[in-house]
Amino acid sequence: MARTTFTKAEKSWILYDVGNSALVLLATSVIPIYFNSLAAADPSVQDVAVGAWGAAETIASLIIALLMPILGSVADMEGMRKKFIMGCVGTGAVATVAMGFPSHWFAFLLIYVVSSVALNASFVFYDALLVDATTDERMDEVSSQGFAWGYVGSCIPFIACLLIVLNADKLNMTLQTAMLIAFVITAAWWVAFSIPLLKNVEQKSFKPRQPHAILNAIRGIGNTLRNIWNYKSMRYFILSYFFYIDGVHTVIKMSTSYGSNLGIEGTQLVLALLVTQFVAWPSSILYGKLGRKVGTKKMLLVGIVGYFFITLFAAFFLRTATEFWILAICVGLFQGGIQALSRSEFGKLCPKDHANEYFGFFDIFGKYAAVLGTGLVSIFTFLTHNPSLGVLSIAILFVIGFVIMLKVPDRS
């Protein structure tokens, strides 16, 4: 009979998603706005503030892309995964608090890059620990629970931070002081929910420790890529994932910008973002249960189709705040589920003793896919002078992802 409760290790693994999601939500909403306020104080950078922010994001992503396959391979050695997570959380939390001190935009940006690298690097080691925290049969449900509780858990510190920042004047404090408090709350939340993971999840799968680990890891990158390509299930899955997750991330990144372009108020956009978080909570849990019952591949196909229609709705019908709220609810229905089942399916496919090494490539595919989607939106918008057609171009990615996913052999 299937177990309906979660083990201590599974609960502890899930809680880390609750911890890191607070910084993720703050970084996608409040932090860019705060950076713009710092940049506005410097006349020399006002016109290129967006470019400076984009450059910082790009640099952080490049650092992750260069380091993760190498560090991931080292982390696969006995007893190393949790040590790397501890290092990432410690460094990231200190950097997050430190963001509250600079009053100059450039210093703030440098510290933000450190915080972003630490946060995103921790995801690779955390994702790899999924294979140690649970079994293949329960992986879909546990991964989905992580995303689900991460969505709702992130809202608690985020709302507290938002109330402090928006009411800074009433509280007789400067915006910088309010942001410092917000950063302290977010960092403390991240650290607190990391403790159960570090305490209760043991690395059961590993490869033996070896001399010259970093050099061997660099040499092994090509071998890992060949193994991924030669394994039919993983090859088609990772290619499909590259395209459909590109569409998912593009929808997330472009929705607020598109809504602003349509004249929808910023308050409505932020509130809709919170609605997405709350809708994604039960939806992700349901997705995990359905994945175990009807199959992960089938539920991924459902999610891809769902996002395809979301894209059509955004292109043809999204014009008012009410319709943006409808879009936010629809995104919440599929966002957590498709990300969670993608993570768990890859965890089932990759060799357990090389999980970090493989998840390093998995996370890179997920991050750099979004470049293609945003590029499509930009090209079609510039060519047609119609933002709606630019958004519609995202649908191409879901069509390609769907077709390739059909080629992934069904798991017996």
- Supply the pLDDT for residue 1: 32
Asked if the structure places residue 4 within a domain, the reply is no
Asked if the structure places residue 256 within a domain, the reply is yes
- Supply the pLDDT for residue 299: 93
Q: How far is CA 214 from the centre of its chain?
A: 27
Angle at which helix 321-349 crosses helix 232-261, to 10 degrees, equals: 160
- Supply the pLDDT for residue 343: 86
CA distance linking residue 289 with residue 46, whole number of Å: 49
- Supply the pLDDT for residue 51: 64
Segments of 290-329 assigned E as strands:
none
CA distance linking residue 343 with residue 365, whole number of Å: 12
Boundaries of domain holding 115: 9-406
CA distance linking residue 113 with residue 354, whole number of Å: 28
Asked if the structure places residue 411 within a domain, the reply is no
How many domains does one find in the chain? 1
Asked if the structure places residue 412 within a domain, the reply is no
CA distance linking residue 48 with residue 166, whole number of Å: 26
Asked if the structure places residue 42 within a domain, the reply is yes
Please name which of 366, 333, 334, 344 lies closest in space to residue 411, comparing C-alpha atoms.
344
Please name which of 78, 58, 74 lies closest in space to residue 360, comparing C-alpha atoms.
74
- Supply the pLDDT for residue 232: 87
- Supply the pLDDT for residue 2: 44
CATH number for the domain harbouring residue 265:
1.20.1250.20
pLDDT in tens, 28-64: 778 887 888 888 888 776 656 666 776 787 788 778 8
Question: With 0-12 CB in 10 A as exposed, 13-18 as middle and 19+ as buried, what is 157?
Answer: buried
The residues, any chain, with a CB within 8 Å of residue 295's CB and separated by 6 or more, are: 410, 411
- Supply the pLDDT for residue 261: 65
Query: Mean pLDDT by 10-residue block, N- to C-terminus, for the chain (412 residues)?
Result: 73 94 86 84 69 76 78 77 93 97 93 94 87 88 89 89 91 95 97 96 77 66 78 89 87 68 73 84 87 89 94 86 88 88 86 73 68 75 79 90 92 56
- Supply the pLDDT for residue 393: 86
pLDDT in tens, 312-352: 988 888 888 888 899 889 998 998 889 889 988 888 888 77
Q: How far apart are the first and last CA of the chain?
A: 19
- Supply the pLDDT for residue 42: 80
Asked if the structure places residue 13 within a domain, the reply is yes
Asked if the structure places residue 288 within a domain, the reply is yes
Asked if the structure places residue 63 within a domain, the reply is yes
- Supply the pLDDT for residue 45: 67
Buried b (16+ CB within 10 A) or exposed e, 74-85: bbbbeebbbebb
